[in-house]
Amino acid sequence: MPHPIMFDDDDPVLARLRTLALALPEAVEKVSHGRPNFRCGKVFAVYGGGPKGSKTRHDTALLFIPDPGEKAALEQDDRFWVPAYYGPAGWLATDLSPDSDWAEVAELLDASFRQIAPKRAVARLSTEFTD
């Protein structure tokens, strides 16, 4: 039995996140477990989820793989939380809104992408997105 869809395609927050995530080299979107997943071979971001140990849904959350050097600082920031299922693999999450700091969201996506993307895609990121 397929998972129910847990997002609205007309969601403006999702639209903004899509623009940022799909601008990364070779990034694609695929719905998995009822939620948009952004991948470049492997998943680097998920839209929507919930905190570990809770049944509360955060439908406009960004789940991502933090840069290892920044993870401890992010964990000390109240805006970030450990998501269910992804948390044991080191993922964090933050709630998004139209008023989110979208430059920060882009940085989080970039860091997550760089950890899973093939070297060729990361190399394209370094050349295509710095010009």
Query: Where in the sequence is the domain holding 31, given as residue range(s)?
Result: 12-124
pLDDT tens digits, one per residue of 3-52: 999 999 999 999 999 999 999 999 999 999 999 999 999 999 999 999 99
The SS3 assignment for 85 reads coil
Find, among 71, 68, 89, 67, the residue nearest to 80 by Cα. 71
DSSP 87: G
Residue 130 included in any domain? no
The domain spanning residue 18 has which CATH number?
Answer: 3.90.1150.30
The continuous run of DSSP H or E covering 58 comes out as: strand 58-64
Measure Cα distances from 100 to 21, 36, 52, 62, 87 in Å: 15, 19, 23, 11, 22
pLDDT tens digits, one per residue of 74-112: 999 999 999 999 999 999 999 999 999 999 999 999 999
Residue 73 included in any domain? yes
pLDDT for the residue 128 = 64
Residue 6 included in any domain? no
DSSP 34: T
Residue 1 included in any domain? no
Q: Tell me the pTM.
A: 0.94
Residue 44 included in any domain? yes
Q: Could you tell me the pLDDT band of residue 131, with boundaries at 50, 70 and 90?
A: very low
Please tell me the total count of domains within the chain: 1
Q: How far apart are CA 63 and CA 94, in angstroms?
A: 7
Q: How far apart are CA 131 and CA 124, in angstroms?
A: 11
pLDDT for the residue 74 = 98
